[in-house]
Structure 1
Amino acid sequence: MDADELFKRYCAGERNFTQVSLHLVNLSEMCLPGINLAQADLANATLSHSNLRGSNLIEANLTGASLWRTDLSKANSSWANLKVANLIRANLNQVDLHKASLLKADLRLADLRGADLSGANLSGADLRYANLSGAFLVGANLSGANLTGANFSKTDLSYVNFSKAILFKTDLSYVDFTEVDLTKVDMHHSLLRGVILPERSLIEVS
């Protein structure tokens, strides 16, 4: 299926495009809220500036896709494959990314407020200056991720893997770290107002 056919069918009222093949298709700047692309192949597709608000992307393959400034707010993207995807400045407010793979994805300046990232793989991801305030990250893998300047205030980071992550000027205000493994994690240059740390933590909270 090409972009023209999909858009024509969408405008005619069709919403169900499960398992459709859209590999390398250009869907940039399209308005497709509520579309069902569950298990669709969107590898290396271009969706920049598109409106996919409230869409169904469960188990969709978005490997290497361009989602720059794409509106995915309130979308269900659980178990989706977003490896090395470009999500710079994407609107991911309240998106469901439970168990999604965001390995080495570019999420710089992305809006992830209130997002569900529980069990997600964000290993090696670039989250510089992303806003994750109030997000749910229980069991997420953030090993090797660049979290410079990111906002993690009031997030649930229980059982998160922070190994080798960069936490420079990261806002971790009002986070409970009692169930977080902070072994070999340097948080001395992070903002730690109102945090709850493990009893044996050597970090000084200012």
Structure 2
Amino acid sequence: MEVEELLKQYAAGERMFRSVNLVGVNLSDMDLREVSLIRANLENTSFINTNLSGSNFRESKLMGVDLTDAQLADANLISANLTDANFSRANLTGASMRGSISKNVTLNMANLTDANLAEANFTEANFIGAHLVNSTLIRTNLLKANLSGANLDGANLTNVIMRDSTLEGANLSNATLSGAMLMGANFHRADLSRVTMVGADLTDANLSEANLRAANVSWTSLRGANMSRARLYRTKLNWSNLSGVNLIEAVMLDTVLYRANLRDADLRGAILPD
């Protein structure tokens, strides 16, 4: 199908364009609300500043697509291939990217509030400054992803994979990370207040200067982690493994350490619980 024919049919009220082939075309600055492009091939197509609210891209090929500043509220991107796609500053509020292949995708400054990213593959993706408030990332693969400065307040990251990911300065307050694989992740100066992180693996993670006020980090492995100058006021670390942890100058007032393993931990200058 040619672009002109698609636009003509859309203007006439047609919304279903299943399995069309529109590789490398320009559909920027258009209003295509509620368009259905299920299983379409849209590789390297440009949708810059296009209104695609309520659209359906289920199982479509969107590799290398440019969706900068696009409107994608409540869009269906389930099981789509989004490898190398650019969603910078896009509005994906309430969108579903469940099960998508999103390797190396760019979502910098995108709005993903209430979005569903569960079980998707976001290996080496960029979410710098993105809004992921109350989003769902259950069993999502974020291996080596960059979420620096992202807002994940209230997000559900149960069983997420974030090994070697960067979350420096990110806001994860009230988030759930139980069972998360966070080995080697960088949480420097991140806000983890009131987070639930039971049974997670933070081996060799960087939590220096992070805020874990009132967080529940019980039954968690923190072996070799850097928690220097971390704020651990009222943090629960029951039954957690803190062997070899760097707790230099950490604030541990009212920290709960029942049955915690602190063998070889460095507590120099730390403010310890009574």
* TM-score using structure 2 length: 0.70
> Residues 8-67 of structure 1: CA distance to partner in whole angstroms, max 9, x if unpaired?
322667621100011101111012210111101110001110111101111111000000
Change (3 A) 1:193 1:27: same
Whether contact under 8 Å (1:3, 1:25) holds in the other structure is no
In the TM superposition, 1:22-41 aligns within 5 A as 22-41=87-106
Following superposition, the deviation at residue 144 of structure 1 comes to 0.6
- Aligned pairs (5 A) from 1:183-194: 183-194=248-259
Letter in 2 for 1:121: N
Decide which of 102, 107, 127 is 1:62's aligned counterpart. 127
> Which structure is higher in RCO with an 8 Å CA cutoff and minimum separation 6?
1
- CA offsets, 1:121-159, max 9 Å, x none? 000000000001100000100001001001110100001
Letter in 1 for 2:218: S
Q: Distance in 2 between matches of 1:78 and 1:6?
A: 29
Work out whether 1:99 is the aligned partner of 2:164. Answer: yes
Identity, in percent, stands at: 34
Preserved contact between residue 244 and residue 265 of structure 2 (Cα < 8 Å): no
Contact 1:95 1:112 in 2 (8 A): yes
C-alpha RMSD of the superposition? 2.3
Whichever of the two has the greater Rg, that structure is 2
Matched residue SS, 2:56: helix
**CA shift at 1:113, angstroms?**
0.3
Q: 1:136 maps to which residue?
A: 201
The letter of the residue matching 2:83 is T
Letter paired with 1:170: T
Q: 1:126 maps to which residue? A: 191
**Which residue does the alignment assign to 1:10?**
58
Separation (CA, whole Å) in 2 of partners of 1:37 and 1:145: 29
**How far 1:176 sits from its partner (Å)?**
2.2
Tell me the equivalent position of 1:42. Answer: 107
The one-letter code sitting in structure 1 at the alignment partner of 2:196 is N
* Contact 1:3–1:27 under 8 Å retained in 2: no
Contact conserved, 2:194 with 2:212, CA < 8 A, in 1?
yes
Residue of structure 1 in register with 2:150 after alignment: 85
| Gaps in structure 2 of 5+ consecutive residues | 1-46, 61-77
